[in-house]
Amino acid sequence: MGNNWLGWRALASLRQRGTDVVGVALHPAERRRYGEEILSAAALPKDRVFDASRLREPDVQRAITALGPDIGLSVLLGYILAPEFLSSFGCGVVNLHTGWLPFNRGAHPNVWSIVDQKPAGVTLHWMDARVDTGDIIARKQVEVSPEDTGKSLYHKLETAALALLEQTWPAIEAGHAPRERQSGESTSHRVRDLELIDEIELNRWYSARYLIDVLRARTFPPYKGAFFRADGKQIYVSVSLESEALNRGTREAECVEEIDLNTCYRARDVIDIMRASPRTRGAFFRAGGKRVYVRVTLETESP
């Protein structure tokens, strides 16, 4: 049960190691990513390919139960699975989540790891009736660098998640996978929570750190992210970042304006600094022992 590049590669990995895959569930066509690759890797007849949006329907559940599945694997599945569906798998259902649980349960962990400054990582866990709250099998942290965007971090998490699955699946398949109850501080987000951060108010004062984190977390081309309103239009903002060691020194011809992450600025002023910086390198901030250059790209869309 999965979607996207990670869903495809996870299925292909299981197939390569000889796992008996008896069925597959995909997003409907309009939400599907890497669908043809997943179907090719599955190599199953049509009656064993299911629409993931219909997994709560009794007829679909009965058809899947009839296949006699031992273990279910969910990878970037955009649907909450019902308890009665989970119980149809003899040994349970495992979820491969691109967040370091119990932080960043739910949607867009790549975004919230940057914005909330919570640990990023990947987790394999047993599924229960709630979202990303089941017992942990294995997890691995992933470093968030100052120059990461939502897109670059997403791809780092994909790679780490696939590696974690390949390392851990033999124990799961053999029935030896551990169970560690989730405890301590946790965070959770829904898809609509992005609406809370996406609109930038030009005349509002923000911490520079927070504003830059929002802009880079929501940079995931070709998708639109953070925006501001001007002259009756929505202006979408994305950023590009590059870094160098602080001890390198900056040539006079490269001198640009520094943004102090611990200072508050009007959003309009920060965006203007990043737009108006001379030559090619952009404004910069200091983080993680680096000088990180940041430039903005604006795209206009009429409301």
Q: What is the pLDDT of residues 122-180, one digit of tens each?
A: 999 999 999 999 999 999 999 999 999 999 999 999 999 999 999 999 999 999 999 99
At 196-205, the pLDDT tens digits run 999 999 999 9
CA-to-CA distance for 106 and 190, rounded, in angstroms?
A: 6
Judge whether residue 44 has pLDDT over 70: yes
Nearest to 202 by CA among 133, 128, 271: 271
Q: What angle do CA 283, 150, 132 make, to 5 degrees?
A: 150
Give me 292's structure tokens. 């990180």
Q: Model confidence at 252, in pLDDT bands (50, 70, 90)?
A: very low
Judge whether residue 279 has pLDDT over 70: no
The structure's pTM equals 0.94
Helices 4-16 and 150-173 meet at what angle, rounded to 10?
A: 30
CA-to-CA distance for 292 and 211, rounded, in angstroms?
A: 15
**Contact of 71 with 92, CB cutoff 8 Å:** yes
Residue 228's DSSP bridge partners are 235
Q: Which CATH architecture has domain 4-189?
A: 3-Layer(aba) Sandwich (3.40)
Judge whether residue 265 has pLDDT over 70: yes
CA-to-CA distance for 96 and 129, rounded, in angstroms?
A: 16
**Contact of 10 with 98, CB cutoff 8 Å:** no
**Across residues 33-45, what is the average pLDDT?**
97
Beta-strand relationship, 49-51 and 24-26: parallel
**Contact of 294 with 241, CB cutoff 8 Å:** yes
Q: Model confidence at 256, in pLDDT bands (50, 70, 90)?
A: confident
Nearest to 239 by CA among 282, 202, 198: 282
Q: Model confidence at 275, in pLDDT bands (50, 70, 90)?
A: confident
Would you list the domain boundaries of the chain?
A: 4-189, 199-301
Which distant-in-sequence residues (6+ apart) come within 8 Å of 22 by Cβ? 44, 48, 67, 68, 69
CA-to-CA distance for 5 and 282, rounded, in angstroms?
A: 33
Work out the percent of the chain whose per-residue pLDDT is above 90: 90
SS3 call for 6: helix
Judge whether residue 303 has pLDDT over 70: no
C-alpha R_g of the chain:
22
At 72-114, the pLDDT tens digits run 999 999 999 999 999 999 999 999 999 999 999 999 999 999 9
Omega cis (within 30) before 119: no
